[in-house]
Amino acid sequence: MRHYVGGGFDGSGVPFPLVDPVRGTTAGEAPAASRELVDRAVDAARAALSGPWASWSPAERARLLHRIADGIEARFEEFVDAECADTGKPRELASTVDIPRAVANFRSYADLLVGRAERSWNTPTPDGRGALNYTVHKPLGVVAVISPWNLPLLLLTWKVAPALATGNTVVAKPSELTPGTACLLAEVMAGAELPPGVFNLVHGGGGDAAGQWLTEHPGVDAVAFTGESRTGSTIMRAVAGRLAPVSFELGGKNAGLVFADADLERAVEGTLRSAFTHSGQVCLCTERVYVERPVFDAFAEALAAGARELTGYGPMVSAAHRDKVLGYLGKAAADGRILAGGGVPRFGDDRDGGFWVEPTVLTGLPEDHPAVREEIFGPVVHLAPFDTEEEALALANAGPYGLAATVWTGDVSRAHRVAPALDVGIAWVNTWNLRDLRTPFGGVKASGIGREGGDHSLDFFSEPMNVCVKL
């Protein structure tokens, strides 16, 4: 585990332990960047802005992104191993979602970049000779990319790819819990003929560490961050003085609506996926499900049975996160009912030292209960009934978050009526997490600022400039 600064690897810094979530044992260590190293990384990124990188054409940058994608594919199994070691997620998930999506991130932005055209206008003037107005997109400059622990490579590359596509330079800081795939990505960058300083990587924590020093740095021109809403607020304060633009994908307490006319079996299967994929440690996971009363009991029984039968799920990422989730379950057990799960599974082997929580289905809690209102980010879903469409929307839209929602219905008119009325950035109808990388991704309220994906990311990472030429 090394930093990557100015085109070279650096192992300096006080080491911190890396823990295997599956077994709870120390699996290695990584170096924490000093403030001086963060300064060096930002300086290297700023110097690269005026170096050869500044003259690279969009076509050259697109070819670079394809080389990076090729490099990840060439070391695919190494990336899968690192992702599983850091997060504890099942290998099937890492090999079919996380690593392929990282490859797709680079390829999709390469293709979008090549097909992107600047706009121009012929403008009349009083003398009849006219003027030509056209738009030029320029890079923001040095971009700090701070990525979370739940989808380490996927979300890191989701920001790095468009930042590089638009000509910026990057200083990336992965979560201190999951640095492995970021280190491999730096090795791929080193072999991809990237000018020194264009991509830099530093390791360490957030507060009074690499994360804070990076976001507060006067040489950083923009910040792209995925993580907790509270951390997003801290970063907002850090950049406020220099008015640096931010792109935030933050927390969620996502709702699902199940109407009586839905295909119940399909709704149960979809909710099992949306609630328990990666043990609920995905920002898009469903934590609240509101079910129309005539089918509530049948849905609850089927979902609880499905949760009890789940196998092959992974642990929480850390002991602290496991304890947080179990704390919510303790409160829920005292105030409501646990239909499935609610505890720690026992395996009878070394996994009993890991950070596991059973897939859990709750019901009977009031809407202002912490387990219903606050983001748990674990394998926990709460069920409650509703009677009318208006009530369902009011319940789904309540609370501080607004990232994603699901709607399960057999009525196409209702689908088109309800989905746009949800206060979220993404609404899925009769499916979950079906993504097109060209579409806008992000949330409202405490779930984020701005949109990622397709042209939306390219627009964030570039500054449009108007040029007017009098003819």
- Per residue in 238-273, pLDDT (tens digit) is 999 999 999 999 999 999 999 999 999 999 999 999
H helix runs in 166-318, sequence order: 180-190, 210-215, 229-240, 264-276, 293-309
Q: What would the two tokens of residue 392 be?
A: 């369902």
Q: Is 458 left (phi over 0), alpha (psi -120 to 50) or beta?
A: alpha
C-alpha–C-alpha distance, residues 204 and 214, integer Å? 11
Architecture category of domain 3-250+447-470 in CATH? 3-Layer(aba) Sandwich (3.40)
Task: Give first-to-last CA distance, the chain, whole Å.
Answer: 58
C-alpha–C-alpha distance, residues 314 and 395, integer Å? 30
C-alpha–C-alpha distance, residues 83 and 77, integer Å? 10
Is the Cβ–Cβ distance between 342 and 327 less than 8 Å? no
**CA 17 to chain centroid:** 24
The β-bridge partners of 120 are 134
State the average pLDDT over residues 70-99.
98
Residue with tokens 């960047």: 33
Structural Rg of the chain based on CA atoms: 23
- Asked if pLDDT for residue 101 goes beyond 90, the answer is yes
Common-topology check for domains 3-250+447-470 and 254-436: no
**Residue 20 φ/ψ, nearest 5 degrees:** -75, 115
Per 3-state DSSP, the chain is made up of helix, strand and coil in percentages (nearest 5) of 40, 25, 35
How would DSSP label each residue in 404-421?
A: EEEEE-S-HHHHHHHGGG
Q: What would the two tokens of residue 111 be?
A: 């293709």
- Asked if pLDDT for residue 116 goes beyond 90, the answer is no
For the question of residue 84 being annotated catalytic, the response is no
Cβ contacts of 382 within 8 Å, gap of 6 or more: 287, 288, 289, 332, 336, 361, 362, 363, 365, 371, 372
369-412: per-residue pLDDT in tens? 999 999 999 999 999 999 999 999 999 999 999 999 999 999 99
Q: What's the pTM value of the predicted model, to 2 decimals?
A: 0.96
Where residue 413 falls among pLDDT bands split at 50, 70, 90? very high
464 class by beta-carbon count within 10 Å (0-12 exposed, 13-18 middle, 19+ buried): exposed
State the average pLDDT over residues 278-302.
98
Q: What is the pLDDT of residue 114?
A: 87
Nearest by Cα to 315 from 269, 347, 284: 347
For 18, 183, 261, the CA distances from 28, given in Å and listed in that order, are: 5, 14, 52
Buried b (16+ CB within 10 A) or exposed e, 324-350: ebbebbeebeeebebbbbbeeeeeeee
- Asked if pLDDT for residue 115 goes beyond 90, the answer is no
25-44: per-residue pLDDT in tens? 999 999 999 999 999 999 99
The β-bridge partners of 222 are 143
Instruction: Give, in degrees to the nearest 5, the angle at Cα 433 between 428 and 435.
Output: 95
Bridge-based pairing of strands 199-201 and 169-173 is: parallel
181-201: per-residue pLDDT in tens? 999 999 999 999 999 999 999
Q: Which residue in 83, 249, 287, 358 is the catalytic one?
A: 249
Domain boundaries along the sequence of the chain: 3-250+447-470, 254-436
Where residue 118 falls among pLDDT bands split at 50, 70, 90? confident
C-alpha–C-alpha distance, residues 338 and 358, integer Å? 12
H helix runs in 315-388, sequence order: 319-335, 370-373
59-74: per-residue pLDDT in tens? 999 999 999 999 999 9
**CA 177 to chain centroid:** 15
C-alpha–C-alpha distance, residues 20 and 84, integer Å? 9
Mean pLDDT of the chain: 97
Fold exhibited by the domain 254-436 = Aldehyde Dehydrogenase; Chain A, domain 2 (3.40.309)
Q: Which residue in 283, 287, 358, 452 is the catalytic one?
A: 283
